[in-house]
C-alpha cells in the first residue's frame, strides 16, 4: 500500500518526534518505508529517518507491505498530520 502525505505538523521534525515516529512504525509487522526526493528509507530505522528533511508542507510517500499495511499507513498519516 502506498500513500502520498503532506506533512502538517506544527512542531519541527527533530530527533524526538522522529524517534516517536520510528517507535510507531515498529509497532507494525509490515515493512514501512518513507520515500522523498528520490530516497527510500526504512521507517523503522532512526538513522534512515534522520536522513530525511521532514518539514511542515513537505510531501512524503509512505509505503507499507505486509498483513497490517493499511493500519501502518493510516498511523503514519495520523502522526504526520496531527
The pLDDT score that the predictor gives to residue 53 is 87
pLDDT tens for residues 54-80? Answer: 889 999 999 999 999 999 999 999 999
Residue 28: CB atoms within 10 Å: 20
pLDDT tens for residues 19-46? Answer: 999 999 999 999 999 999 999 999 999 9
The pLDDT score that the predictor gives to residue 9 is 82
Q: What is the pTM of this model?
A: 0.92
Complete domains list, the chain, with CATH: 2-80 (3.30.1340.10)
The pLDDT score that the predictor gives to residue 33 is 99
Is 12's pLDDT higher than 80?
A: no
The pLDDT score that the predictor gives to residue 15 is 85
Is 9 strand, coil or helix?
coil
Judge contact between 55 and 7, C-beta under 8 A.
yes
Return the beta strands (E) in 1-82 as ranges.
2-6, 31-36, 39-42, 59-65
Q: How far apart are CA 27 and CA 52, in angstroms?
A: 21
Quick one: how many helices (H) and strands (E) in the chain? 3, 4
Residue matched to cell numbers 538513522: 47
Amino acid at each position: 500500500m502506498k500513500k502520498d502525505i503532506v506533512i502538517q505538523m506544527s512542531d519541527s521534525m527533530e530527533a524526538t518526534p522522529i524517534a516517536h515516529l520510528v517507535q510507531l512504525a515498529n509497532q507494525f509487522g509490515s515493512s514501512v518505508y518513507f520515500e522523498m526526493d528520490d530516497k527510500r528509507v526504512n521507517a523503522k530505522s532512526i538513522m534512515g529517518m534522520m536522513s530525511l528533511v521532514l518539514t511542515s508542507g513537505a510531501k512524503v510517500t509512505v509505503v507499507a507491505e505486509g498483513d497490517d499495511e493499511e493500519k501502518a499507513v493510516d498511523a503514519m498519516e495520523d502522526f504526520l498530520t496531527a
